[in-house]
Amino acid sequence: MNGLLTKFLLKNPSVLVFLGALALFTAFVSVGSEAFGWGFISTSFVKTLGKTLCFCLIAIAMDLVWGYCGILSLGHFAFFGLGGYMLGMWLMYARTEIIVQTAMSNEVIPPTDQEVIDAIGTQIFGVVGGSDFPMIWAFAHLFWVQLALVVLVPGILALVFGWLAFRSRVTGVYLSILTQAMTLALSLYLFQNDSGLRGNNGLSGLQNLPGLDDVSQDIVSMWFFWASAFALGLSYLLVKLITESKLGNIVRGIRDDEARVRFLGYNVEGYKLFVFVLTAIIAGIAGALYYPQAGIINPAEIAPIASIYLAVWVAIGGRGRIYGAVIGAAFVSLLSTWFTGGQAPDIPLGIYTIKWVDWWLVLLGLSFVIVTLYFPKGIGGLFDRLVRKGDA
Amino acid sequence: MLRVLTLFLGLLLAVPAFAQSSLYDALAEQTAGLKKPSSKTIETVISSLQDSGAPGVADFLTKLQSKEVWYRKSDDKFFFVATDDKKTYRLIDIQSGEVVAEVAKKEIKQIKPNSGVRAKIDGALVAFRLTDADPAVRDAALVGISRDPKAKDLAPLSAALASETDPDLKARMERLSRVLTVSFGDTTEARVAAIASFDGDLGLDARAVLNPLVTTTLKAAPEVGAGENVAKTLRLGNDISEEDAFDLLVASGLAQAEPTKGDIKAALKANIIGDTVGGMNVANLGTDEARLAAHMALAASGAVPAILTSEDKAALLASAAYYEVYAEADPAVTAAAVEALSSISTAVGVSQFIDLVLDGISLASIYFLAAIGLAITFGVMRVINMAHGEFIMMGAYTGYVVQQIIPNYTVSLIVAIPAAFVITFAAGVAMERLVIRHLYHRPLETLLATFGISIALQQIAKNIFGTQARPLTSPGWLDGALVFNDVIAISWIRIAIFVLAVIFFLGLLFVLNRTRLGLETRAVTQNPRMAAAMGINPDRINMLTFGLGSGIAGIAGIAIGLFAKVTSELGSDYIVQSFMTVVVGGVGNIFGTLAGATMIGFLQKGIEWFNPSNTLAAQTYMIIFIIIFIQFRPRGIIALKGRAAGD
């Protein structure tokens, strides 16, 4: 196995380059962080970078499913959100439990188990006018179960949805619209107060790890940054292994001519389902890593537009080359943070001042049109051109 | 000449003198009864006044009731009296309302009818107003009675009914008298007959008067009381849970309330000695069982009241009868009311179903309007235009801007519709020329590029018009609703939207099937090369078709803006549903879009009907249903077959 991996890495030096670059970047952020280094990178920026890595992670998944398999899914952010919700449930439950127990420990008569659970329920569901735990919170107190659900819930949803969709040969734009409808349905469902996930309040306070209140956010942010970097590196390797294998060739074949691959005797639906479910799982993991860094998750994050932005990142980065997705996600999301954060200088034009907070989306939308029209290979395509010139 | 003049003068004098004498004469006849009114004598006084037919009797009685009528001791004449300083009193003529004299208090005396008399007068006044010459007064009297029906209104109402001439008022009086008979009829037979007359009636008043008759209260008593009109006896454990039964016993004072878990905890807390309570260590009281045991120990020592044992509780529960009793005592009446209400609820159900169908049609026409433009761009040309929603938004904002310029809503609407078409047509053509033309062979990328345009347009609208909603006010003649009965009503805006949808449907059918443009469009979408070989310019056709689809979206925007607030997100709210409509209906033909919109509209209303409070859930379930539906008919309800299908 070890030999095989070495052989693979020797054959694909770009993977090593990427992993090396990621390791360097991680080390740089570590020495720059407030927790473990000189502190020239603020904790909030570490969080931004960590979140960006999660976006890169889901972008890899998107590239695999769209760039390699040709399925333009407009629903992967739903899987991302579900992953976040699953871990968020445990974070919120466990932390509230500690708070409630601390508060109750002062009472003369020790509380019964039911009283503790009722108090937690009131704390969590008070905002939506309830106090009872819905069924879906049955395992919220068990960390390992919720961790498994991070993978299982998006995975099973993708399996059921994908099986239904691929089985009836829904392809192309129809599939895109269908995935978008799925996302819309999910976010509308979560917007209800009686969805059991606190309606549009979502889950909050996720940045505080239960039982680790004395560990400062400086350190927690680095933990999540490392975890995100590790997950990104591992997923990159995994996805590369898939795309460079025979499986990857079949998947690309499906993208280019589905009917022909089917006529060659391959079970096209099976391959598509495999890719769809795998990428949904990666998206779920990315979400579970992202939301503790963001601190809050609500249904608005799952709205169909988020999934379309995901497609935008991958398209700008360049489809069909995994590093392109990473570059696109990092580039666009960081730029977006910069512009919408009010850090970009306004441009006074005499009678009208261009405020980037207002005009950034216009710029993004138009640049998106330009990229689609004139640079269909995205930023990654520029790299290709450079590399080819180097070869010559 | 002189004679004529004298006659004329005589007439002038005689007319008021005659009128005045009428009311005065009527009053003079009853002077004794009026000066000291008693509830026994007042009725004859009132009826004599009523019979006299003198004008102003009602006014006089109203004033009498409110103790504003006085009489002059010297001549027993009646006046209305007003005073500012309680020293000098102004006498006001009962007929003309003019001040005739100012006197000191000792010269006059106030008439003070007691409450019994006032009630009698009140009853008589109803009759006066109901028979007033002015229909507006009669109308007001009817409204007053129906707002607060009283038993005493029934007789005057029945009396007035006979003499009423206005058919509309007569019908209302007749109905109101039936309503009153239900509650206040003298005999059981009359009430039952009145109740039966409301069989299947949809009026809110009928339900409002019948429902209280059949309301029941839950009772627990050792045995069913005599004369109680029992609706249902409840069997313990089957119809009523033991917990509820016990609560009922507590409420009727037949049992002591049990302490709740919170009470037990509080009682324990209050009796802590050192760190034990009831002989148990406080630290061990973390379970309900331990707390109960401690409480029992405390009860044994008499510190707290004991909790009933389960045997005692069972015996207590078994000792009482539980039943629902009607507020109305007469069983015949309640039986008739139950029957009438059941027939009413059937009729209401039918009406609600019709109302639901109308709602479904109206929602379907909204979806149809939102999707019809897409049916052309996506359905016929196969171009997936994510900015379609923004064209709808542009249309709505055009309507808003036109309204700012032209204040007359009707005129501005007439101007706005073509303006919206022109603007979105131009935007569509520009978009087709600049972007979509280059992407005809890459449908997925069309999706992304048009999405880029969509977010740019949305943000531009936000920058121009701000984030708050702008009103697009409908002209006055579209206000209100077409009301069929108390259940079925549909607002005129929705009817207008339905009409607009029908016009669009027929218009597009005509354009696509009967015009040169339609023929060429269909040719280009089926086979662009062949069409080009036949002399059709595919570029031009694509441009015009796309413009047409976009222009229709603009008009749809005005229609949607009339009932929804205009915001920059207006379009994106409809985009997913619009695509669903086209896909479900079947891509490539207008009939499909109609079928899709109808199905989605009815489906959503149908699901909402099961759970009216939750439109979000309805949308969720609808989308799930559509996803499943597409499994079975991937090409939609109306699928194109053969060459027209394209692939």
Strand B69-72 relative to strand B78-83, pairing: antiparallel
Asked if residue B329 is part of any domain, the answer here is no
Interface test mutation site (partner B, options A372, A373, A374, A375, max chain B beta carbons within 10 A): A372
| Residue B217 CB neighbour total at 10 angstroms | 10
Q: Which of B166, B189, B214 is the last residue of a domain?
A: B214
Q: CA B369 to CA B387: how far, in whole Å?
A: 16
**Interface predicted TM-score (ipTM):** 0.82
The domain spanning residue B355 has which CATH number? 1.10.3470
- pLDDT grade for B20, boundaries at 50, 70 and 90: very low
Residues B77 and B177 in one domain: no
φ and ψ at residue B79, rounded to 5 degrees: -140, 155
Tell whether B439 is within 8 A of chain A (Cβ). Answer: yes
User: Which helix or strand (DSSP H or E) is residue B323 part of?
Assistant: strand B321-326
Residues B32 and B60 in one domain: yes
**pLDDT tens string A15-43:** 888 899 999 999 999 888 887 878 888 88
Which residues numbered 66-95 in A keep a CB inside 8 Å of some CB on B?
Answer: 72
Q: Which of B156, B187, B214 is the last residue of a domain?
A: B214
Which residues form the domain of B172?
A: 131-214
Q: CA A341 to CA A344: how far, in whole Å?
A: 8
Which residues numbered 603-632 in B keep a CB inside 8 Å of some CB on A?
Answer: 614, 616-617, 619-620, 623-624, 626-628, 630-632
Q: Which residue of A has its CA nearest to B467?
A: A358
Nearest to B498, CA basis, from B360, B598, B365, B359: B365
Average pLDDT of B371-378?
84
Q: Are B71 and B88 in contact (CB under 8 A)?
A: no
Tell whether B572 is within 8 A of chain A (Cβ). Answer: yes
Q: In chain A, where are the structural domains located?
A: 18-391
Tell me how many helices (H) and strands (E) chain A has: 15, 4
- pLDDT grade for B642, boundaries at 50, 70 and 90: low
**pLDDT tens string B21-32:** 477 777 777 787
Q: CA B191 to CA B527: how far, in whole Å?
A: 77
> Over 80: is that where the pLDDT of A156 sits?
yes
Asked if residue B258 is part of any domain, the answer here is no
Chain B residues with beta carbon closer than 8 angstroms to that of A108: 269, 272, 282
Residues B564 and B443 in one domain: yes
Say if the Cβ atoms of B583 and A109 lie within 8 Å.
no
Tell whether A177 is within 8 A of chain B (Cβ). Answer: yes
Q: CA A235 to CA A238: how far, in whole Å?
A: 5
Say if the Cβ atoms of B579 and A180 lie within 8 Å.
yes
Asked if residue B556 is part of any domain, the answer here is yes
φ and ψ at residue B277, rounded to 5 degrees: -140, 130
> How many domains does the structure of chain B reveal?
3
| B343 backbone φψ class: left, alpha, beta (φ>0; ψ -120 to 50) | alpha
| Residue A355 CB neighbour total at 10 angstroms | 14
DSSP at B273: B
Say if the Cβ atoms of A164 and B627 lie within 8 Å.
yes
Say if the Cβ atoms of A161 and B627 lie within 8 Å.
yes
Asked if residue B158 is part of any domain, the answer here is yes
Chain B residues with beta carbon closer than 8 angstroms to that of A72: 444, 447
- pLDDT grade for A82, boundaries at 50, 70 and 90: very high
Task: Show Cβ contacts of residue B117 under 8 Å, excluding neighbours closer than 6 positions.
Answer: B37, B38, B39, B42
B207 vs A229, residue with greater confidence: A229
Tell whether B292 is within 8 A of chain A (Cβ). Answer: no
Chain B residues with beta carbon closer than 8 angstroms to that of A366: 452-453, 456
> Over 50: is that where the pLDDT of B354 sits?
yes
CA–chain centroid gap for A288, Å, is 8
Tell me how many helices (H) and strands (E) chain B has: 25, 12
- pLDDT grade for B2, boundaries at 50, 70 and 90: low
Tell whether A361 is within 8 A of chain B (Cβ). Answer: yes
Q: CA A311 to CA A325: how far, in whole Å?
A: 9
Tell whether B422 is within 8 A of chain A (Cβ). Answer: no
Q: CA B33 to CA B41: how far, in whole Å?
A: 6
> Over 90: is that where the pLDDT of A157 sits?
yes
Angstrom distances, CA of residue A218 to CA of A30, A191, B539: 11, 32, 60
In this prediction, residue B410 carries a pLDDT of 87
Q: Which residue of B has its CA nearest to A315?
A: B448
Q: Which of B214, B230, B251 is the last residue of a domain?
A: B214
Residues B116 and B152 in one domain: no
Residues B450 and B509 in one domain: yes
Chain A residues with beta carbon closer than 8 angstroms to that of B456: 361-362, 364-366, 369
Asked if residue B84 is part of any domain, the answer here is yes
The closest CB to that of A110, out of B286, B448, B463, belongs to: B286
Chain A residues with beta carbon closer than 8 angstroms to that of B459: 358-359, 361-362, 365
Say if the Cβ atoms of B288 and A112 lie within 8 Å.
yes
Chain B residues with beta carbon closer than 8 angstroms to that of A165: 627, 631
In this prediction, residue B298 carries a pLDDT of 81
Average pLDDT of B160-169?
81
Residues B135 and B85 in one domain: no
Say if the Cβ atoms of A369 and B282 lie within 8 Å.
no
In this prediction, residue A338 carries a pLDDT of 85
Asked if residue B220 is part of any domain, the answer here is no
- pLDDT grade for B10, boundaries at 50, 70 and 90: very low
Say if the Cβ atoms of A111 and B272 lie within 8 Å.
no
> What is the DSSP track for A179-243?
HHHHHHHHHHHHHSGGGSS-GGG-EE-TTSPTT-TTS-HHHHHHHHHHHHHHHHHHHHHHHHHHH
| Residue A66 CB neighbour total at 10 angstroms | 26
In this prediction, residue A317 carries a pLDDT of 87
Looking up tokens 């900015």 gives: B387
Which residues numbered 145-164 in A keep a CB inside 8 Å of some CB on B?
Answer: 161, 164
Q: Are A322 and A66 in contact (CB under 8 A)?
A: no
Say if the Cβ atoms of A168 and B632 lie within 8 Å.
yes
Which residues numbered 108-127 in A keep a CB inside 8 Å of some CB on B?
Answer: 108-114
Q: CA A169 to CA A333: how far, in whole Å?
A: 34
Tell whether B533 is within 8 A of chain A (Cβ). Answer: no
A334: exposed, middle or buried (Cβ count in 10 Å: 0-12, 13-18, 19+): middle
The identity of residue B156, as a single letter, is P
| Residue A6 CB neighbour total at 10 angstroms | 10
| Residue B6 CB neighbour total at 10 angstroms | 10
Q: Which residue of B has its CA nearest to A186?
A: B620
Average pLDDT of B582-603?
85
A375 vs A390, residue with greater confidence: A375
Q: Are A56 and A232 in contact (CB under 8 A)?
A: yes
Mapped onto helix, strand or coil, the DSSP state of residue B281 is strand
The identity of residue A206, as a single letter, is L
Looking up tokens 């998006």 gives: A154
Is the dihedral angle over the CA atoms A150, A155, A160, A166 positive or is it negative? positive
In this prediction, residue B4 carries a pLDDT of 54
DSSP at A172: H
Q: pTM here?
A: 0.78
> Over 80: is that where the pLDDT of B350 sits?
yes
DSSP at B641: -
A127-134 long-range contacts, Cβ below 8 Å, gap at least 24?
A127/A198, A127/A201, A128/A193, A128/A194, A128/A198, A128/A199, A128/A201, A129/A193, A130/A194, A134/A196
Tell whether A37 is within 8 A of chain B (Cβ). Answer: no
Residues B210 and B84 in one domain: no
DSSP at B489: E
Say if the Cβ atoms of B452 and A312 lie within 8 Å.
yes
Q: CA A5 to CA A237: how far, in whole Å?
A: 10
Asked if residue B291 is part of any domain, the answer here is no
Q: Which residue of B has its CA nearest to A359?
A: B459
> Over 80: is that where the pLDDT of B51 sits?
no
Tell whether B457 is within 8 A of chain A (Cβ). Answer: yes
Mapped onto helix, strand or coil, the DSSP state of residue B89 is strand
Average pLDDT of A294-310?
88
Q: Are B368 and B505 in contact (CB under 8 A)?
A: yes
The closest CB to that of A178, out of B291, B616, B630, belongs to: B630
Q: Which residue of B has its CA nearest to A353?
A: B463
